[in-house]
Structure 1
């Protein structure tokens, strides 16, 4: 069985999971939503924060988005989550995986997989989580979110699983 290292490259709620340890960055940074969004919630720290500060996103990407030699790298992303590091990622870790930008899931379980890199759309991950926890065997799924990797919503029809 292959080991999987999972990473969420989003603007908020950064986390990683390696099968043993779930690293929720907000527990360490104390920011529920990583900057620059919701900076007003941290007004007491306004002397060190501003709405154009993407340091937490950049630091997270640099520290945690790595392709392990002995595991599959599984990830989702939002465009904002990789805004500053997109070019670097595509010339290093994700080199040769340009298709990810054009990935368009038609079914809930569609995915991109090549050279131990596994990717699903950001909204597809929301839809899968909702479905797996619903208790239903079949269901239409509508996932709507503020921002994603490509779309703001995705609709998956039950007969097209």
Structure 2
């Protein structure tokens, strides 16, 4: 069930426009992180799982709320308490899995620095059958190798 979009926390407009998506893409380009998360399971013998994750960390919580409004996809917003080393509250907006893909799809045409990562993420979704639950017999070995290749390739893109 789709809920009604709330008013923008900044402009008080009800609907985002193309300029809002461009602004959100700039925030993601400058402050965001696109990566493929690999979750391992220790010595259990279970193979790792892979999922797309998109994160933006910022001291300004209102900026993250405006980003969430502009892209029209609800994320998980949480705040870490200040510590001795970091005396300001740091807010994090996180999108996992399908929601991360939705955000990237909406912002793709506006991205600049992160466009190669967004393209790789779309390819990862298309080729790696990531929504397939492995079950007791698992996926074919070639699929595991492909998922690992995309994980490594995304890491390489982040270093370049």
Q: Classify the TM-score, shorter chain.
A: under 0.3
Larger helix proportion, structure 1 or 2? 2
Structure number with bigger Rg: 2
Higher relative contact order (CA 8 A, sep 6+): 2
Name the TM-score, length of structure 1 as normaliser: 0.24
Name the TM-score, length of structure 2 as normaliser: 0.24
